[in-house]
Amino acid sequence: MVSACRNAGVNYSVTRLLSHRFPTGRSHLPSTVEGMDEAVFDRLVVAGIGGIFAVLLGARLLGAEWVVPPEDGVGGFPSTGRAVLFWTVAVVALVGMAACLMRQLSREWRGFPTMLLGIPLLFGSVLVLGEPIYNSHQLDLRADGCTTDRYELMPKNRVRLFNVSDTTYTVCLGRSGECTPAAAGPAVLLSLGITLPPNHRRAVTMPEQVGEYRLTIVGAGASVTPQDLVINISDEE
């Protein structure tokens, strides 16, 4: 009986020793190793998102057309294809932000919240892509006149002149169909101003100086009545 008890004790000790030296199954891995693997994965994901953001921001600052499409040209702005691309990216980024948050919540906030850094990076990527195409104001030139005769803008805002009519229009600083060569305002609107054929657009950056800038719009043909409008630049939102 004593020998049997001793043998049972030895077998239990050997079994316990072997179970520690040769663990089986993922559940026996040290928690520090699992935590290290998760942390590395999170850092790689956030680094990838940061790399995408850096590329987009660099292209935006350099004025690359695949990020900053030209506002001068033919047809509406942005194009249908560009708008679809942007909103597709925005939806993907929104899903990515939710995934980053859920990933961090699943870790029960253990360690540094690395995945949360992906949220502002994804949001910033959407802003970089959206700012060039949506951070401007469009003024439609119509045969029946503009929708309003006064526009309120901030200093250095861009205003896009888009001829949606079937008549060629000229836009310049002045009034009653007469351009004023020495008027204060954007240089491109001085003298002869801008001539826009139908379905053409042209972007103008307004000056930093606050004040009212009077524009006159003249259509081709004697039967077209000149239109006047005022763009007021104010630093008050």
Cα 231 to Cα 175: distance, rounded to the nearest angstrom: 13
Same domain membership, residue 175 and residue 97: no
CB atoms within 10 A of CB 42: 22
Closest CA to 121 of 40, 49, 55, 42: 49
E strand or H helix at 21: helix 2-21
Task: Quote the number of domains for the chain.
Answer: 2
Reading the block at residue 67, the tokens are 């990020």
89 and 159: one domain?
A: no
Q: Which structural domain range is residue 111 located in?
A: 31-134
In a domain, 78, yes or no: yes
* CATH number of residue 155's parent domain: 2.60.40.420
Q: Percentage of residues in the chain with pLDDT exceeding 90?
A: 57
Q: In the prediction, which pLDDT does 21 show?
A: 47
Which of 11-25, 76-90, 181-195 comes out lowest in average pLDDT? 11-25
Final residue belonging to a domain, choices 82, 104, 134? 134
Q: How confident is the model at residue 222 (pLDDT cuts 50, 70, 90)?
A: low
Looking at residue 86, what is its pLDDT? 95
Express each pLDDT in 6-35 by its tens digit. 454 445 444 454 444 444 444 443 444 355
| pTM of the model as a whole | 0.73
Name the residue type at position 162. Answer: F
Dump pLDDT digits (tens) for 138-180. 999 988 878 788 999 999 999 999 999 999 999 999 998 888 8
Q: CB neighbours of 83 closer than 8 A, spacing ≥ 6?
A: 133
pLDDT at 182 over 90: no
pLDDT tier at 98 (50, 70, 90 boundaries)? very high
What is the C-alpha to C-alpha distance for residues 137 and 211, in angstroms, rounded to an integer?
18
Cβ neighbours for 59, distance < 8 A, ≥ 6 positions apart:
66, 67, 68
Q: What is the DSSP letter of 153?
A: E
